[in-house]
């Protein structure tokens, strides 16, 4: 990493929010901290790319919710692009606690709210949401030969507590008409995803494939779907390549991670 990428020192008050077994990562472009723990599934490039893919509707007051928010990475990233309130919902209580402390670490308690709950229990709110983001479990339980126990890593990656149909149906429940759903998913389940979206009155509006290297198949896909928006044709954006041949980040990825600090 370049010497210009300096991480600001934490104050004693901030340090008091971090447990002994935890570490703090720094989000350079946004200038935000996030608490991480080896006990839980860490945030990955999936979340970074999803937050970057989000385009907010042009409304003065927005309601935004992040499904499966984990340690709060997507709300933290989005807080740099809007002053609107963002709610994150996460099933696992210990991860919620960590996410809430990350919010406090950045002094964002007035803007970000992380709640513990099961997405399956969501009810239709009095005021519907404008934006839902979701970095969901990608794999069915049968897809992994290594799935042996119900731990936090398994819950984050596999449809143990939350299936594709369940989270799409809840997004449809809480979104206003023409509200936007932003998703990061695996290309090998794109057919299942689109079929489920259409069944719940979503129209796919934008799609972008992500490639680990230019000569490899895509391993992620970013999707913007509009609830009851009508089918206007799918905009397939230029592919995003993460690494150059030598393993270093492409200029596009450097911009997503570091902004103009290149």
pLDDT in tens, 72-124: 999 999 999 999 999 999 999 999 999 999 999 999 999 999 999 999 999 99
All structural domains of the chain with their residue ranges: 12-258
Cα distance between residue 136 and residue 111, in whole Å: 23
Report the candidate in 72, 102, 98, 101 with the shortest Cα–Cα distance to residue 87: 72
CB 180 within 8 A of CB 130: yes
User: Is residue 260 scored above 50 in pLDDT?
Assistant: yes
pTM beyond 0.85: the answer is yes
How confident is the model at residue 217, as a pLDDT? 97
DSSP 83-95: -S-EEEEES-HHH
Q: Return the structure tokens found at 238.
A: 């230029």
Per residue in 24-46, pLDDT tens? Answer: 999 999 999 999 998 887 888 99
Q: Are strands 220-227 and 175-185 parallel, antiparallel or unpaired?
A: antiparallel
User: Is residue 4 scored above 50 in pLDDT?
Assistant: no
The secondary structure of the chain in percent helix, strand, coil, rounded to multiples of 5, reads 30, 25, 45
pLDDT: which is higher, 29 or 4: 29
CB 237 within 8 A of CB 199: no
Q: Are strands 112-116 and 235-236 parallel, antiparallel or unpaired?
A: unpaired
9-13, 49-53, 88-92, 130-134: range with lowest mean pLDDT: 9-13
pLDDT: which is higher, 259 or 219: 219
The DSSP symbol for 66 reads E
Cα distance between residue 206 and residue 229, in whole Å: 13
How confident is the model at residue 150, as a pLDDT? 46
Give start and end residues of each alpha helix (H) in 106-241.
Answer: 152-157, 164-174, 190-199
pLDDT above 90 coverage of the chain, percent: 77
User: Is residue 2 scored above 80 in pLDDT?
Assistant: no
Cα distance between residue 206 and residue 224, in whole Å: 5
How confident is the model at residue 22, as a pLDDT? 92
259's torsion region: left (phi>0), alpha (psi -120 to 50) or beta?
left
State the sign of the Cα–Cα–Cα–Cα dihedral 119, 124, 125, 129: positive
Report the candidate in 211, 80, 221 with the shortest Cα–Cα distance to residue 138: 221
Per residue in 111-170, pLDDT tens? Answer: 999 999 999 999 999 999 999 999 998 756 665 545 444 455 555 554 457 899 999 999
Instruction: Give Cβ neighbours of residue 23 (< 8 Å, ≥ 6 apart).
Output: 35, 36, 37
How confident is the model at residue 5, as a pLDDT? 53
12-258 belongs to CATH 3.40.50.150:
yes
How confident is the model at residue 137, as a pLDDT? 82
Per residue in 160-169, pLDDT tens? Answer: 578 999 999 9
Tokens 């390549």, residue located: 241
Helix axes 164-174, 190-199, angle to 10 degrees: 40
Tokens 């399956």, residue located: 120
Per residue in 207-256, pLDDT tens? Answer: 999 999 999 999 999 999 999 988 888 999 999 999 999 999 999 999 99
């Amino acid at each position: 990493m370049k010497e210009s990428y300096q991480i600001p020192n934490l104050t004693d008050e901030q340090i008091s929010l971090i447990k002994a077994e935890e570490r703090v990562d720094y989000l350079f472009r946004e200038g935000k901290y996030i608490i991480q723990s080896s006990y839980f599934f860490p945030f990955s490039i999936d979340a970074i790319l999803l937050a970057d893919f989000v385009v907010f509707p042009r409304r003065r007051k927005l309601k935004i919710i992040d499904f499966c928010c984990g340690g709060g990475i997507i709300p933290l990233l989005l807080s740099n692009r809007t002053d609107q309130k963002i709610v994150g919902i996460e099933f696992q209580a210990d991860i919620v606690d960590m996410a809430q402390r990350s919010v406090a670490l950045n002094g964002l308690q007035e803007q970000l709210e992380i709640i513990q709950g099961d997405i399956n229990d969501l009810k239709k709110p009095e005021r519907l949401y404008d934006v839902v983001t979701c970095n969901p479990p990608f794999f069915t339980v049968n897809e992994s030969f290594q799935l042996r126990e119900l731990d936090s890593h398994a819950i984050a990656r596999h449809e143990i507590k939350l299936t594709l149909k369940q989270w799409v149906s809840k997004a449809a429940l809480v979104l206003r008409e023409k509200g936007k759903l932003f998703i990061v998913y695996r290309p090998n389940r794109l057919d299942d995803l689109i079929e489920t979206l259409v069944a719940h009155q979503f129209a796919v509006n934008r799609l972008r494939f992500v490639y680990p290297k230019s000569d490899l198949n895509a391993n992620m896909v970013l999707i913007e779907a509009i609830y009851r928006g009508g089918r206007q044709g799918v905009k397939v954006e230029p592919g995003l390549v993460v690494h150059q041949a030598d393993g270093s980040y492409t200029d596009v990825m450097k911009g997503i991670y570091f902004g103009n600090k290149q």
